[in-house]
């Protein structure tokens, strides 16, 4: 990567003029940067996170959480109810995800076409985009033979109960199954945006500025004129300012920071929906206990098997949840297990005998991103209807663990001890789902600048353009009209590809190439 600048080392009052500035280097931003750069446009990608090469992925949980995750992995919703995990590094969350690759389900695409007028998103039109992206990302289906014990037990439970399930498609090349996917792949096996779309963009002339947090999009009248922000040192503390003037501005900071940046920049939003429709795929862990069996859920391919039986978008099931095998390193696991002192120590001594799966719920009631005091406000709580569906999904997951031989199942509740039989699933009726009562995690943030055919329906046009501006675009998971119900990375790449087409064909971009 020879066109890389760092906020650590550039002059403390850095200024540059380019044709297009892209804020963020995750799947959305890097896709647009690559496409525009290939078309001959002078592009600068600006990333708040650092460029972290594989040799610096130490596999140390604490260190990597600080280096690779937004707010060191400590960010939660405003009410503290749910942890919000997002990558903050070149490549964005694609560097720290579990590599799961789902094409946007056809049922969902048809829904987006019908309800939001997004006629470009029919399955037939999206198919070649997915094929192209999957080729770049080296997406392959995981063979059953490669399931680790954790995921294989989930598979056995699924099949014993006659449910639908499958192995994931993953963007990996020569994977060693080390099991440190969420701390960055030390072996460059994970084909993240940092290894694919970002270098493809720089290889055609794009420049990458890292360690540079964009604070404001500069707008006047119907035009965006660039961005300005703060240069960060290695400790993520301010060391200077920067300004990038540009003919095109593309915001790809993710569904929390994109609306936060646009709202705090005072952009005109005729839809009135910017920051609304915040979908989260709330998740909670469900662990099975297999005494005497070394499961070591953190070894091998952590996320290998999913239960699709209860998905609405894959299987028409009203619960609307995927159940996915997960590997949980000890730092996270320790926060899930209830109890204090010796009691909790005794439970955790069985750590290697526990399986783990996560619920991915397609939420029906969205939250909202606001401009808080110097940081995004995240207004979200688990709606009662969604809590009820979450309970059903947890119960189905517990059944799967019990069906594959678990002696007990532990949920993420602070009061529930364990479920030892299907008869004990009724215990779930008595537990709470509010803040501080259950461990909730959000890995997928979506929908806060929704794409639609009119400003009555969404924040941006079907090409990702903010309605009130001729050259201001959004390209990330903020675009999603609804939650996807499946892991979203391929959908982000594909929608960003749609946006790139729009930019190149609309007047502001067309005159640049």
Q: Which is nearer to other proteins, 173 or 420 (CB)?
A: 173
Query: Apex CA 189: angle with CA 186 and CA 195, to 5°?
Result: 90
**Alpha-carbon gap, residue 12 to 21, rounded angstroms:** 19
The label of the residue with tokens 């709330």 reads 282
Q: Which is nearer to other proteins, 318 or 373 (CB)?
A: 373
Considering only residues 232-271, where is the footprint of other proteins by CB under 8 A?
Answer: 235-237
Residues in Cβ contact with 83 at an 8 Å cutoff, skipping those fewer than 6 apart = 73, 75, 76, 439, 440, 441, 442
**Alpha-carbon gap, residue 471 to 459, rounded angstroms:** 14
103 binds other proteins per the rule CB under 8 A: no
Which of these, 34, 22, 506, 480, lies nearest to 250 by C-alpha position? 22
Q: Which of 5, 43, 172, 262 binds other proteins (CB under 8 A)?
A: 172
3 state SS of 150: helix
> What is the closest distance, in whole angstroms, from the C-beta atom of residue 30 to other proteins in the complex?
23
Q: Which of 191, 317, 333, 355 binds other proteins (CB under 8 A)?
A: 333
Query: By the 8 A CB rule, do 362 and 281 touch?
Result: yes
Write the binding mask 62 to 81 for other proteins: x where contact by CB under 8 A, - elsewhere.
x--xx----xx-xxx-xxxx
Write the binding mask 352 to 391 for other proteins: x where contact by CB under 8 A, - elsewhere.
x-------------------xxxx-x--------------
3 state SS of 180: coil
Considering only residues 444-463, where is the footprint of other proteins by CB under 8 A?
Answer: none
Q: Which of 117, 123, 177, 205 binds other proteins (CB under 8 A)?
A: 177
Q: Which of 124, 220, 342, 429 binds other proteins (CB under 8 A)?
A: 342
Q: Which of 36, 109, 175, 361 binds other proteins (CB under 8 A)?
A: 175
Q: Which is nearer to other proteins, 133 or 201 (CB)?
A: 133
Helix or strand run (H / E) with residue 200: helix 197-203
> What is the closest distance, in whole angstroms, from the C-beta atom of residue 477 to other proteins in the complex?
22
Q: Which is nearer to other proteins, 112 or 351 (CB)?
A: 351
Count Cβ atoms below 10 Å from residue 123 Cβ, excluding itself: 16
127 binds other proteins per the rule CB under 8 A: no
Binding span for other proteins by CB under 8 A among 173-181, 247-255, 400-408, 462-470:
173-181
**Alpha-carbon gap, residue 244 to 226, rounded angstroms:** 5
User: Residues in contact with other proteins, total (CB under 8 A)?
Assistant: 67
Binding span for other proteins by CB under 8 A among 14-22, 167-175, 191-199, 458-466:
167-175
State the distance between the two ends of the chain, measured CA to CA, in whole angstroms.
Answer: 24
Which residues are registered as beta bridge partners of 438? Answer: 413
Tokens of 491: 């959908």
Distances (CA, A) of 376 to 46, 71, 266, 458, 464: 19, 12, 14, 21, 22
329 binds other proteins per the rule CB under 8 A: yes
Query: By the 8 A CB rule, do 198 and 44 touch?
Result: no
**Alpha-carbon gap, residue 39 to 504, rounded angstroms:** 8
> What is the closest distance, in whole angstroms, from the C-beta atom of residue 328 to other proteins in the complex?
11
Local structure of residue 183 (DSSP, 8 states): G
Q: Which is nearer to other proteins, 123 or 177 (CB)?
A: 177
144 binds other proteins per the rule CB under 8 A: yes
Instruction: Please report, as ranges, the residues that interact with other proteins according to CB under 8 A.
Output: 58-62, 65-66, 71-72, 74-76, 78-81, 140-146, 170, 172-180, 186-187, 235-237, 298, 301, 329-335, 340-342, 344-345, 348-349, 351-352, 372-375, 377, 414-415, 434-437
């Amino acid at each position: 990567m020879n066109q890389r600048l760092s906020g650590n080392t550039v002059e403390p009052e850095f200024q540059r003029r380019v044709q297009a500035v892209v804020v963020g280097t995750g799947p959305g931003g890097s896709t647009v940067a690559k496409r525009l750069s290939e078309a001959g446009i002078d592009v600068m990608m600006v990333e708040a996170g650092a460029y972290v090469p594989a040799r610096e992925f130490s596999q140390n949980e604490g260190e990597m959480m600080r280096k690779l995750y937004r707010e060191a992995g400590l960010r939660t919703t405003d009410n503290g109810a749910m942890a919000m995990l997002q990558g903050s590094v070149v490549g964005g969350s694609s560097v720290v995800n579990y590599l799961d690759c789902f094409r946007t389900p056809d049922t969902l695409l048809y829904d987006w076409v019908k309800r939001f007028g997004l006629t470009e998103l029919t399955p037939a039109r999206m198919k070649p985009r997915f094929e192209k992206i999957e080729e770049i990302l080296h997406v392959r289906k995981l063979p059953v033979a490669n399931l680790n014990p954790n995921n294989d037990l989930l598979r056995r439970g699924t099949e014993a109960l006659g449910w639908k399930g499958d192995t994931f498609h993953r963007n990996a090349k020569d994977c060693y199954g080390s099991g440190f996917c969420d701390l960055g792949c030390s072996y460059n096996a994970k084909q993240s945006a940092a290894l694919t779309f970002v270098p493809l963009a720089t290889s055609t002339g794009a420049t990458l500025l890292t360690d540079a947090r964009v604070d404001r999009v500069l707008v006047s009248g119907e035009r965006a004129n660039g961005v300005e922000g703060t240069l960060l040192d290695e400790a993520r503390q301010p060391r200077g300012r920067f300004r990038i003037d540009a003919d095109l501005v593309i915001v790809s900071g993710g569904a929390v920071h994109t609306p936060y940046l646009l709202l705090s920049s005072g952009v005109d939003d005729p839809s009135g929906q910017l920051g609304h429709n915040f979908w989260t795929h709330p998740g909670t862990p469900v662990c099975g206990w297999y005494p005497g069996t070394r499961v070591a859920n953190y070894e091998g391919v952590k996320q290998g098997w999913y239960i699709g039986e209860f998905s609405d978008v894959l299987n028409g099931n009203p619960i609307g949840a995927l159940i996915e095998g997960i590997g949980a390193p000890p730092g996270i696991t320790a926060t899930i297990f209830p109890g204090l002192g010796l009691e909790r120590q005794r439970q955790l001594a069985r750590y290697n005998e526990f399986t783990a799966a996560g619920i991915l719920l397609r939420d029906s009631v969205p939250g909202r991103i606001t401009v808080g005091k110097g940081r995004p406000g995240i207004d979200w709580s688990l709606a009662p209807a969604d809590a009820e569906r979450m309970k059903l999904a947890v119960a189905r997951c517990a059944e799967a663990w019990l069906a594959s031989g678990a002696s007990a199942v532990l949920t993420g509740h602070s009061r529930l001890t364990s479920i030892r039989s299907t008869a004990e699933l009724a215990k779930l009726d008595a537990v709470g789902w509010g803040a501080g009562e259950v461990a909730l995690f959000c890995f997928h943030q979506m929908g806060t600048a929704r794409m639609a055919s009119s400003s009555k329906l969404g924040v941006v046009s079907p090409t990702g353009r903010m309605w009130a501006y001729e050259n201001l675009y959004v390209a990330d998971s903020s675009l999603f009209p609804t939650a996807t119900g499946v892991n979203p990375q391929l959908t982000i790449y594909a929608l960003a590809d749609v946006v790139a087409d729009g930019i190149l064909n609309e007047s502001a971009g067309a005159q640049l190439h």
